[in-house]
Amino acid sequence: MHCPNCGKPADGDQQFCRSCGMSLEVIGKLVAQHSASPVAVQRRNDKVALEQAAVRTMFNWIMLGMIILGAGAAMIVVNKNFDVGKWFSLLSSFLILGGTGVATAGVLNAIRRAPGISGPPEQKSLPTNPIPNELPSITERTTQLIPAEEAQAREAGDSPTA
């Protein structure tokens, strides 16, 4: 894909042109719709669904950890005000550490299972000709027309420099 503003090459998933800054999001979607096979579109949709599921799982584990941590903090406040005992203070400390551990384990597990992070990267097939063909110059056709204009001017008897 090329930027329609400046003509510089751009990736399909770029949001802005690195050269001129034009927004490429809409153009990238249009190119992807017309060039992607249904299998590639389905894979992309599956990947998005897996990422959303990983974020949901991570959020749920973080919330569970925060609830456990909050229960431990509440127990510390109760123990400070009513002096229930040393075992109550120890239990609240374990809950705080456990809640922090549950939240951290949930985040790390979601990161480990996320589609783009774990496993080998997707292998992209290289094009057979990695060097793109040069685009013709805008003035190339004009310079081809100059001899034809000079010949027409000679036939008419006019001077080409006049």
Residue 156 confidence (pLDDT): 76
b/e code 16-36 from CB counts within 10 Å (16+ = b) = ebeeeeeebeebbeeeeeeee
Position 51, amino acid? E
Task: Report how far residue 73's alpha carbon sits from residue 79's, in angstroms, rounded to the nearest whole number.
Answer: 10
Tell me, what's the pLDDT at 96?
95
- Reduce the DSSP state of residue 14 to 3 states and report it: coil
Residue keyed to tokens 């090329």: 2
pLDDT of residue 23: 84
pLDDT of 162: 47
pTM: 0.49
pLDDT at 67: 97
Question: Could you say which residues of the chain have pLDDT below 50?
Answer: 118, 162
The DSSP symbol for 68 reads: H
| pLDDT given for residue 9 in this prediction | 84
What DSSP assignment string belongs to 101-123?
HHHHHHHHHHHHH-TTTSSPPPP
**DSSP E strands, the chain:** none
